[in-house]
Amino acid sequence: MSFDHLQDQIRAMKNPTVVGLDPKPEYVPPHILQACYEEFGANLAGAVHAVYRFNCGLMDALSDIVPAVKPQSAYYERLGWRGMKMLERTIAYAKEKGYFVIADVKRGDIGSTAQAYSEAWLGKTQIGEGAFAAFGADCVTVNGYMGSDAVNPFLDTCRAEDKCLFVLVKTSNPSSGELQDRMAGDRLVYQVMGELTQRLGGTAGKYGFTPAGAVVGATYPSDLQELRKRLEQTFFLVPGYGAQGGTAADVRYAFDKHGHGAIVNSSRGIMCAWQKTGKNGEDYQEAARNAAIAMRDDIRQFVTIA
């Protein structure tokens, strides 16, 4: 699904947010964790089943509010092959529920390796006479700081499969400036990366955005505002809202005059909302739903989606 599909879903829900599904076992409510440990063991097998049940419960609670989910592969990889199996199942369940799925994998290799990653996450793997989707995500995150060789194989798959990607441009972490804010001729490195991303994206869709989006953090609102002006055809994924300090007033700069062109991420703020209610996680679905609505309404104070 391209950014046209994502923007359609955002407009339908009037909600430009994505929930990060980045669960550690300690984020899972105790009653789910204990039940899975009793059934499968207090080990990797028990943990991955608990994570999957938690993910499904969250997605059940949010499917009429939030248009997209963003599982971060690292949280599944740390649980081994069982974790990757649960990531595959999580993506499949998300698609069944109608979510746009952004696989946060931040791959950054070149040539045939980049092609293999793009086939795994976005496309299909040729086996004999057939071609089979492995993970089937709608979108991925890519580290493009190796240059166009790291991005083009993904874009080839995006164009063939009507999908899209986000390239790291100006990230939300405190040390991003060590590299991204250095001068490269008459521009900053992140400006060069942003302009390269837009150029590689090629033809824009019906909403005016190419298949190559950019990750631009909410923690640097002036940079966000400046990049929005430079990259009119680039869709933004905006991390850093909430736990990292970004506010709705900050993220408004990611959107164009129609309220289009960006989606704002929250992970722990929604997943772990149950930890603040004093009900020991029995209300985790209600807590997540309330947090997602609060985030949506917070952003709506500053962004009107046409």
13, 3, 78, 193 alpha-carbon torsion, rounded to 10°: -130
Contact of 286 with 258, CB cutoff 8 Å: no
Give the C-alpha separation, 16 to 39, whole Å: 38
Per-residue model confidence (pLDDT) at position 1? 58
Per-residue model confidence (pLDDT) at position 251? 96
How many residues are given for the chain? 306
Per-residue model confidence (pLDDT) at position 17? 98
- Can you count the helices (H) and strands (E) in the chain? 13, 12
Give the C-alpha separation, 67 to 17, whole Å: 7
pLDDT per residue as tens digits for the range 148-157: 999 999 999 9
Q: Does 257 qualify as catalytic in the annotation?
A: no
Q: Which of 106, 206, 257, 279 is catalytic?
A: 106
Give the C-alpha separation, 147 to 32, whole Å: 44
Closest by CA position to 253, among listed 230, 212, 222: 222
Give the C-alpha separation, 177 to 194, whole Å: 15
Q: Strands 187-188 and 183-184: what pairing? A: antiparallel
Cβ-in-10-Å burial (0-12, 13-18, 19+) of 65 comes to middle
pLDDT per residue as tens digits for the range 254-285: 999 999 999 999 999 999 999 999 999 999 99
Cβ-in-10-Å burial (0-12, 13-18, 19+) of 294 comes to middle
Tens of pLDDT along the chain (306 residues) come to: 589 999 999 999 999 999 999 989 999 999 999 999 999 999 999 999 999 999 999 999 999 999 999 999 999 999 999 999 999 999 999 999 999 999 999 999 999 999 999 999 999 999 999 999 999 999 999 999 999 999 999 999 999 999 999 999 999 888 999 999 999 999 999 999 999 999 999 999 999 999 999 999 998 999 999 999 999 999 999 999 987 788 999 999 999 999 999 999 999 999 999 999 999 999 999 999 999 999 999 999 999 999
Could you please report the per-residue DSSP string of 64-109? TT-SEEEEBTHHHHTTHHHHHHHHHHHHHHHHHTT-EEEEEEEE--
Average pLDDT of the chain, as a whole number: 96
Vertex 265 angle, CA 229 and 274, to 5°? 155
